[in-house]
């Protein structure tokens, strides 16, 4: 019976609806005995090697987060343990949009792609999978300093503004990861998808905030080293979960550089091993660089740069004014004068908020066709409207029922009859509403009286700009449509038989079915599945464990034959033998 429910907890209960759309149940019954063997081999090999080269938090974290060497983690079991360190985990289907991925982190939620790589990709896969997420990310978050970095990264990263090309690249990478991990995908199809990703990567233009912060994420959270350039340790999940690259990255073939803000501009190729890596002295320094980068973002800089970034994204963004008024929508136009924002314009549904809460009467139903407003100071008046007291407002005829003409220093003229004003709790005016209003800039008419009520935002300038709406409830964000889904292939009779053999050996090891004949399993494997190597490694390990010396020698001889027959996996077979031999000595 498939598990179609998602077990919640207090941390997951805090997630907004638009993030919940990405969560899927983890159906543990979907994992075959081959999947379990792949997990077990990767974990055994990782721990055997990583115990010497990984940051000390890794092995400690494995224990704290409930990650088992022998069994693929059950999300619900993990959550019961993760909550002790203030985190939770959810299952998703492969890659999800970068903003959403980071926003999950901001809520202390680890996103785990619940699928597992094929045996043919046991060393590395470009697709996110449970080995990468569960065995890579989860253990390190047991370190409080690193966990706070991850949360803070999510908080800042989810506000990063993307470009239209970023969305294209996300879809292309997702598609490539899916077909590359799917069994029997024709090589020409993979080649075409890789070329599409490469072409996009080479033609991204000026990198967006999201592109830059994704670089920081890649060189720290995914592929980070810690310590000194001469003696680094591994903490990045991509390295911790790649039994091939974790070893290669520690050789002199991979260049090591001190980590700093310049890493922001080092791009990466997800389809290839990384030719260089960056070393942070400690986890606290990661947060220092993150704050340094955040200072370059529109959310902190504001101004014309912030508005232009949001326009280029062609997606919902928010502009926050110096009064605290937040305008959320798809921005399409800006009028600049002397490097300052004179006018901003959205197209389509727009919402106005204050302190991330939508103002009553100013949601998307009230502003269905866009919103535009002049900004800045008025000509001949040094005191900005937002700084005027009620007495000042009256003195300048900014009062209900008055017909006024506002000439802004940016050249925008607003003429109409004031209906009312909207203030915040501190009494600061946020909006002035007009009837019979005309707004012009030179010969351009920006608003006509017949369009209805005109709401003018009050603000000296744009203080901040960021991706997404201020109030998450203002827009329908439950609109994610997956362009490509992970591919489940129909199992052949041969595959079903092989899975059964793996299942029998697994049950024998777990003492749930000791009537299994290991000898017959080996014979069947050799006769019907001559290319499979992992089950032979598992059988060899069992023979050593239960002192079946003759069968152990037969199996070892067969494994040596396989190393000659399959040089592509000979190092994996050899490593499997070494780990089994080492276990025998230890036990």
Q: Each residue of 437-462: pLDDT tens digit?
A: 999 999 999 999 999 999 999 999 99
The reply to whether 508 and 373 lie within a common domain is no
Residue 473: inside a domain: no
The reply to whether 534 and 568 lie within a common domain is yes
The reply to whether 284 and 324 lie within a common domain is no
Residue ending a domain, among 228, 258, 291, is 291
Residue 302: inside a domain: no
Residue 480: inside a domain: no
The reply to whether 218 and 331 lie within a common domain is no
Higher pLDDT, 354 or 44: 354
On whether the CB atoms of residues 220 and 286 are closer than 8 A, the answer is: yes
Non-local (6+) Cβ contacts of 220 within 8 A are 149, 236, 259, 278, 280, 286
Residue 330: inside a domain: yes
pLDDT at 73: 87
What confidence category does residue 109 fall into, taking pLDDT thresholds of 50, 70 and 90? very high
The reply to whether 452 and 512 lie within a common domain is no
What confidence category does residue 2 fall into, taking pLDDT thresholds of 50, 70 and 90? very low
Say yes or no to pLDDT of 96 above 90: no
The reply to whether 186 and 251 lie within a common domain is yes
Residue 163: inside a domain: yes
Nearest to 228 by CA among 254, 200, 257, 248: 257
Residue 376: inside a domain: yes
Residue 532: inside a domain: yes
pLDDT at 434: 97
Enclosing domain of residue 554: 493-586
The reply to whether 269 and 175 lie within a common domain is yes
pLDDT at 294: 97
Highest mean pLDDT of the ranges 16-25, 126-135, 169-178: 16-25
The reply to whether 272 and 188 lie within a common domain is yes
What is the SS3 assignment for 547?
A: coil
The reply to whether 94 and 143 lie within a common domain is yes
Residue ending a domain, among 244, 276, 291, is 291
Residue ending a domain, among 291, 308, 325, is 291
The reply to whether 283 and 322 lie within a common domain is no
Say yes or no to pLDDT of 1 above 50: no
Structural domain count of the chain: 3
CATH number at residue 130: 1.10.800.10
Distance CA 432, CA 568 (A): 71
The reply to whether 283 and 171 lie within a common domain is yes
Mean pLDDT for the chain overall? 90
Distance CA 440, CA 4 (A): 57
Give the Cα-Cα-Cα angle 100, 91, 186 (nearest 5 degrees): 90
Distance CA 468, CA 327 (A): 11
Residue 300: inside a domain: no
* Mean pLDDT of the 17-29 span: 89
pLDDT at 264: 95
The reply to whether 458 and 518 lie within a common domain is no
Nearest to 44 by CA among 141, 113, 142, 131: 131
Distance CA 392, CA 570 (A): 83
């Amino acid at each position: 019976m498939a598990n179609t429910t998602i077990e919640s907890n207090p941390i997951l209960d805090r997630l907004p609806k638009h993030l919940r759309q990405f969560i899927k149940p983890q159906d543990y019954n979907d994992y075959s005995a081959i999947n379990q063997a792949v997990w077990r081999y990767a974990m055994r090999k990782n721990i055997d090697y990583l115990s010497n080269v990984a940051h000390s938090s890794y092995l400690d974290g494995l224990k704290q987060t409930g990650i088992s060497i022998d069994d693929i983690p059950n999300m619900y079991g993990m959550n019961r343990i993760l909550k002790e360190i203030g985190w939770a985990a959810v299952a998703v289907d492969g890659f999800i949009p970068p903003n959403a991925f980071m926003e999950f982190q901001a809520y202390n939620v680890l996103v785990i792609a619940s699928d597992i790589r094929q045996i043919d990709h046991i060393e590395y896969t470009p697709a996110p999978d449970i080995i990468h997420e569960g065995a890579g990310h989860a253990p390190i978050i047991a370190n409080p300093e690193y966990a706070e970095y991850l949360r803070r990264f999510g908080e800042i990263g989810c506000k990063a503004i993307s470009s239209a090309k970023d969305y294209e690249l996300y879809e292309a990478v997702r598609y490539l990861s899916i077909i590359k991990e799917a069994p029997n995908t024709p090589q020409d199809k993979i080649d075409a998808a890789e070329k599409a990703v490469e072409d996009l990567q080479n033609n991204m233009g000026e990198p967006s905030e999201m592109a830059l912060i994704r670089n920081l994420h890649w060189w720290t959270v995914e592929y980070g080293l810690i310590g000194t350039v001469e003696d680094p340790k591994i903490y990045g999940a991509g390295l911790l979960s790649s039994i091939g690259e974790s070893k290669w990255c520690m050789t002199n073939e991979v260049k090591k550089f001190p980590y700093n803000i310049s890493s922001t501009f080092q791009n990466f190729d997800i389809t290839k091993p990384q030719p260089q890596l960056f070393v942070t002295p400690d986890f606290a320094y990661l947060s220092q660089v993150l704050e340094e980068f955040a200072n370059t973002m529109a959310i902190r800089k504001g101004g014309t740069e912030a508005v232009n970034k949001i326009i280029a994204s062609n997606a919902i963004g928010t502009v926050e004014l110096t009064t605290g008024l937040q305008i959320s929508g798809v921005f399409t136009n800006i009028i600049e004068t002397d490097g300052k924002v004179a006018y901003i314009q959205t197209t389509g549904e727009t919402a106005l908020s204050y302190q991330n809460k939508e103002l009553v009467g100013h949601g998307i139903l009230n502003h269905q066709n866009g919103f535009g407003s002049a900004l800045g100071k008025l000509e001949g008046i040094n005191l900005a409207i937002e700084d005027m007291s009620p007495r000042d407002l009256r003195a300048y005829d900014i009062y209900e029922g008055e017909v006024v003409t506002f000439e802004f220093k940016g050249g925008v003229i607003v003429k109409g009859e004031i209906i009312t004003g909207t203030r915040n709790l501190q009494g600061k005016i946020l909006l002035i509403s007009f009837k019979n209003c005309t707004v012009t800039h030179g010969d351009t008419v920006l608003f006509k009286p017949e369009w209805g009520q005109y709401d003018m935002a009050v603000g000296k300038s744009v203080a901040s700009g960021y991706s997404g709406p201020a109030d998450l409830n203002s827009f329908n964000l439950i609109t994610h449509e997956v362009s490509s889904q992970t591919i489940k292939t129909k199992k052949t009779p041969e595959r079903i038989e092989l899975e059964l053999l793996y299942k029998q050996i697994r049950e024998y090891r777990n003492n749930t079915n000791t009537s299994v004949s290991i000898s017959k399993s080996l014979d069947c494997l050799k006769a019907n599945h001559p290319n499979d190597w992992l089950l032979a490694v598992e059988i060899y390990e069992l023979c050593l464990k239960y002192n079946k010396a003759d069968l152990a020698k037969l199996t070892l001889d067969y494994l040596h034959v396989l190393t000659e027959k399959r040089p592509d996996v000979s190092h994996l077979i050899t490593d499997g033998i070494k780990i089994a031999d080492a276990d025998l000595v230890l036990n």
